Amino acid sequence: MTIWGKIMTLTQETLLGKSVDELTTWVKRQGQPAYRGKQLHQWLYQKGVRSLTEISVFPKALREELKDYPIGRSNIYHCTIAPDKTRKYLLSLADGLIIETVGIPTSKRLTVCVSSQVGCPMNCDFCATGKGGYERNLSCAEIVDQVLTVQEDFQQRVSHVVFMGMGEPLLNTKEVVKAVKILNQDVGIGQRSLTISTVGVPKKILEFAHHKLQVTFAVSLHAANQTLREKLIPSAKYYPLPKLLSDCRKYVEITGRRVTFEYILLGGINDLPEQSIQLTKCLKGFQSHVNLIPYNPIEEADYQRPDAESINVFKSILEGQNIAVSVRYSRGLEANAACGQLRAMSTAKE
């Protein structure tokens, strides 16, 4: 191991996550001319190199000197491909922890569903991630790496990123905001093609709003009354529905962007016509869009996916009140890669 290998194990500093200016400062510290900073930036974020030895525009001696320098890339521990071509990756991080990332190809798009934490502390009753516990936040480099990994594996540019993998993004706002900026400015994905999904964390929605990002902002509502919402989402106890909704209204005022509300449909639990009517009342006059997500089965919970008829009735009640609504049929169901099916698989490699 060179000197770099040793130093970096101690500090955990990585090149991925640094801006072009920071990279320029770094190359100058290695005794290199400033223009090598731009080169490094291009090879890290555009070509997606995994080691500095791959940067062929760098002199051989420099590549040799930096060969152990950790740039911040994970390793693919396992990949499952579903019949619909969705790929679920288990990625191993520098400290050995495993996260899940999903690559979802459609005819024109390649979407990556990224994790923002290892596990999740929110413990929503219908979601597999929370059942596996919580380890730690991810760094912005670990978030950006997931996108570069999918891009490399598909040999195709990623067009969209959704923060809907493991974890609650607003418990990790600082690194998530940094990752959004890097994905936008350094990797080149439009902010409007990035979606942050949150179950709602007190004070954090407004804190996030003040960053004035142009991303798509989605809130996991799942119930239009407090009692049911608390049953499904334990953390809802600390964030009453009227307060959550008023923070969402402020989000719209501050950012000028509408809010998407996600609503998982659990057969016989929250998919009844009267619950759709309740939802229309919650959202009346709101600049919003509702995304209905039929429940994806997980082992640890006993919920049912609703039938097509009840989904249609629920949807048409919202449409009748001029609320923009769509149904999201998750991809990757067969590979346990759909919404809510991601878990820390360190013990369960498929």
Give the active site residues.
100, 339
Which member of 127, 147, 161, 179 binds ligand SAH (CB under 6 A)? 127
- Taking Cα atoms as reference points, which of 219, 324, 202 lies closest to residue 261? 219
What binding mask, one character per residue, do residues 166-195 give for ligand SAH by CB under 6 A, x or -? --x---------------------------
Helix (H, G, I), strand (E, B) or coil at 79: strand
Q: Which is nearer to ligand SAH, 272 or 327 (CB)?
A: 327
Q: Check residue 296 for interaction with ligand SAH (CB under 6 A).
A: yes
Q: Check residue 290 for interaction with ligand SAH (CB under 6 A).
A: no
Q: In the window 139-158, what residues touch ligand SAH (CB under 6 A)?
A: none
Question: Phi and psi of 145, rounded to 5°?
Answer: -55, -40
Report the distance separating Cα 118 and Cα 131, nearest Å: 12
Which member of 91, 138, 248, 339 binds ligand SAH (CB under 6 A)? 339
Q: Which is nearer to ligand SAH, 241 or 339 (CB)?
A: 339
Distance in Å, CB of 265 to ligand SAH, minimum: 8
Length of the chain: 350
Q: Check residue 224 for interaction with ligand SAH (CB under 6 A).
A: no
Tokens of residue 157, six digits:
């540019």
Which member of 143, 144, 298, 335 binds ligand SAH (CB under 6 A)? 298
Distance in Å, CB of 48 to ligand SAH, minimum: 25
Q: Beta strands of the chain (E only): which ranges?
A: 75-81, 87-92, 98-105, 110-113, 117-119, 134-137, 160-163, 194-198, 216-220, 259-265, 288-294, 324-327
Which member of 179, 293, 318, 337 binds ligand SAH (CB under 6 A)? 293
Distance in Å, CB of 213 to ligand SAH, minimum: 17
Report the distance separating Cα 98 and Cα 146, nearest Å: 12
The DSSP-derived string for 323-342 is -EEEE---S-GGGT-STT--
